[in-house]
Amino acid sequence: MISKPNIIDFQSVKRQPGIGHLLGTEELQKELLRKSIHMTIAVVPALAQLVGVNFALALLAAGTMFYTYSEFLRAQGTEIAFIGKMTAAAARDRDQGKFVLGPITLGLGAMIALMLYPNPAAAVAIYALAFGDGLSSLAGKLFGTLEIPFTGGKTLEGSTTCLLAVFLSTLAVTGLPRESLALAAVAASVELLPSKDVDNLILPMVVGALAVILFV
């Protein structure tokens, strides 16, 4: 007698809390790609030190404008080979068929930090944007079980990850644990706002302003 093979029902797996409801799905692959791209913004402080703030700003502006042009072409049905395909591959369901704003606000957020704040505040703000925002979303989708009300679906696990990521990155820059923890708590609170792509602007502005008070 031949027994039937065990078949994994991925639809039921998605509904089980605590194991990462995106695990093994196309949506998880998109989230990993999207957040990997997001966290590359962490190279900006080192770039600014290497080539100077003004040149780093010029590179960020050029990259943001190039991406904007690529998205405009994609909306018209024409892709710039690599950029267009990457954008389509990483786009959220809510962004399908729309102009994807995330990379634009990401570039602008890093530019705002460089323009408004001196070091180490600018570096702290950009690392909060890169790791706090980036890892919190990924952790929330992989491990999130406790949804926080009025946050647009954000979770306690994701918020805790944001706090830890900002604390560790700030501590690495400043060496001040108490102040780093206070800044991380504020960053985690700001990240909870249901602001979608606008958090790429709000988070570095708020974190940078507080970092100036605490560290400069």
Is the pLDDT assigned to residue 12 strictly greater than 90?
no
The reported pLDDT for the residue numbered 172 is 97
User: So what's the pLDDT on residue 56?
Assistant: 97
- Percent of the chain beyond pLDDT 90? 58
Segment 54-104, tens digit of pLDDT: 999 999 999 999 999 988 888 787 877 777 777 766 676 666 667 788 899
Q: Which amino acid is it at 63? A: G
Q: Which two tokens stand for residue 135?
A: 């890892």
Q: Give the rounded percent of residues in the chain with a pLDDT score beyond 70.
A: 83
- Model confidence pLDDT, tens digit, residues 38-51: 999 999 999 999 99
Residue 9 has pLDDT above 70, yes or no: no
Supply the pLDDT for residue 90.
66
Decide if pLDDT at 196 tops 70: yes
Contact residues for 169 (Cβ-Cβ < 8 A; gap 6+): 124, 127, 128, 130, 131, 132
d(CA 64, CA 110): 11
Mean pLDDT of 190-213: 93
pLDDT surpassing 70 at residue 141: yes
What is the rounded average pLDDT of the residues 141-149? 87
pLDDT range class, residue 4, cuts 50, 70, 90: very low
Query: What whole-number distance in Å separates Cα of residue 158 and Cα of residue 23?
Result: 16
Category of 98 on φ-ψ map: left (φ > 0), alpha (ψ -120 to 50) or beta:
beta
Which residues, other chains included, contact 113 with Cβ-Cβ below 8 Å and sequence gap of 6+?
121, 122, 125, 126, 129, 204, 205, 208
Residue 177's pLDDT is 97
Mean pLDDT within 177-186: 97
Rg (Cα) of the chain, in Å, rounded? Answer: 19
Give the span between the Cα atoms of 173 and 193, in whole angstroms. Answer: 26
pLDDT band at 11 (very low <50, low <70, confident <90, very high): very low
When the pLDDT of each residue in the chain is averaged and rounded to a whole number, the result is 85
Q: Is the peptide bond before 5 cis (omega within 30 degrees of 0)?
A: no
Specify the residue for token string 């302003």.
209
